């Protein structure tokens, strides 16, 4: 059977991770952002390591270094983003975070038309960052989400490298293990005894599935058939889905500034998707 188009895999990933983030936000009062990130990564790593059972035999130092770097980026990206969405509306945070994949798109672009879409999306992000005070945009949240954005850009590049170097999901399993280790100290300090509550553990498992295992697995498979720059542009749909998740799950309001910024970002995503030539799909792996 042929694998689904990579665009379909990315849509599933986007919906899963954004509604997972909204659900995680509802648990912050109990265990805090760092506590939820710890549970998310520890549980995700435990499940995927037990399934993939990756081996480091016959692996080059370069492959292992790439997987470790990927894990460091995963841990930092998730931690700073969760700290940001505790301070910002979900749709606002994801829209600003888009500067990460936007940077990848700028670096990887080879066509003049791509610069139009990139400029449109960048304008939407700038509008929200500088005119979104009434949407709950504050300095600390912006700094945190910009750190997450830088990690997102590195994630796109490293995810493609790790996905090519390791068979199946072995590299992702190793990376999740590394990411879990680096957030454990902060998670324990912030989460405390609440991390042992059955309701928090169950919620952490749900967040692990929705925000880590499902989306990362779909993305790393999709990236095997998509250039990193195109992947970054397609991920422009994240802010719109995040805003929907914020409204549905968290009851957040939508401001005029946010709507305009979202329309600019999504229009850029649709424009680049329609304008890009569609390469033939790679044959599925045996």
Pair of tokens at residue 147? 């750190």
* The pLDDT of residue 1 is above 60: no
Give the phi and the psi of residue 255 in degrees, each rounded to 5: -95, 165
* The pLDDT of residue 16 is above 60: yes
pLDDT digits (tens, 9 = 90+) for 226-239: 776 666 667 777 88
What average pLDDT does this structure show over 94-100?
Answer: 81
The per-residue DSSP string of 88-132 comes to: S-HHHHHHHHTHHHHHHHHHH--SHHHHHHHHHHHHHHHHHHHH-
Which percentage of the chain shows pLDDT scores above 70? 86
* The pLDDT of residue 62 is above 80: yes
The distance of Cα 141 from the centroid of its chain, to the nearest Å, equals: 17
164 or 81: which leads in pLDDT: 81
The per-type count for the chain, helices as H runs and strands as E runs, is 12, 0
What average pLDDT does this structure show over 28-33?
Answer: 93
Among the listed residues 80, 60, 266, 255, the one whose alpha carbon sits nearest the alpha carbon of residue 179: 80
Among the listed residues 28, 20, 10, 44, the one whose alpha carbon sits nearest the alpha carbon of residue 242: 20
What average pLDDT does this structure show over 13-40?
Answer: 92
* The pLDDT of residue 209 is above 50: yes
Rounded-to-integer distance, Cα 215 and Cα 130, Å = 30
pLDDT digits (tens, 9 = 90+) for 177-207: 999 999 999 999 999 999 999 999 999 999 9
Burial class (CB in 10 A: 0-12, 13-18, 19+), 197: middle
């Amino acid at each position: 059977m042929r694998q689904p188009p990579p665009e379909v895999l990315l849509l599933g990933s986007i919906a899963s991770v954004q509604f997972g983030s909204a659900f995680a936000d509802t648990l912050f009062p109990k265990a805090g952002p760092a506590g939820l990130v710890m549970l998310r990564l520890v549980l995700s790593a435990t499940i995927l390591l037990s399934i993939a059972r990756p081996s480091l035999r016959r692996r080059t130092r370069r492959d292992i270094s790439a997987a470790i770097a990927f894990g460091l980026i995963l841990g930092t990206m998730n931690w700073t983003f969760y700290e940001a969405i505790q301070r910002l509306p979900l749709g606002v945070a994801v829209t600003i975070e888009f500067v990460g994949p936007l940077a990848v798109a700028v670096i990887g672009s080879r066509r003049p038309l791509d610069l139009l879409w990139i400029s449109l999306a960048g304008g939407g992000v700038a509008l929200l960052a500088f005119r979104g005070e009434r949407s709950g945009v504050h300095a600390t949240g912006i700094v945190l989400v910009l750190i997450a954005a830088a990690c997102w850009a590195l994630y796109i590049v490293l995810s493609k490298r790790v996905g090519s170097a390791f068979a199946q999901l072995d590299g992702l399993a190793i990376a999740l293990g590394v990411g879990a280790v680096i957030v454990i100290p902060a998670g324990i300090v912030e989460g405390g005894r609440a991390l042992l509550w059955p309701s928090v553990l169950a919620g952490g498992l749900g967040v692990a599935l929705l925000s880590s295992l499902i989306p990362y697995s779909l993305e790393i498979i999709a990236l095997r058939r998509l250039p990193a720059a195109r992947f970054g542009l397609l991920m422009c749909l994240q802010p719109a889905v995040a805003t929907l998740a914020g409204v549905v799950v968290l009851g957040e309001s939508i401001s005029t500034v946010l709507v305009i910024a979202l329309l600019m970002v999504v229009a850029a995503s649709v424009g680049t998707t329609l304008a890009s030539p569609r390469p033939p799909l790679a044959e599925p792996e045996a």
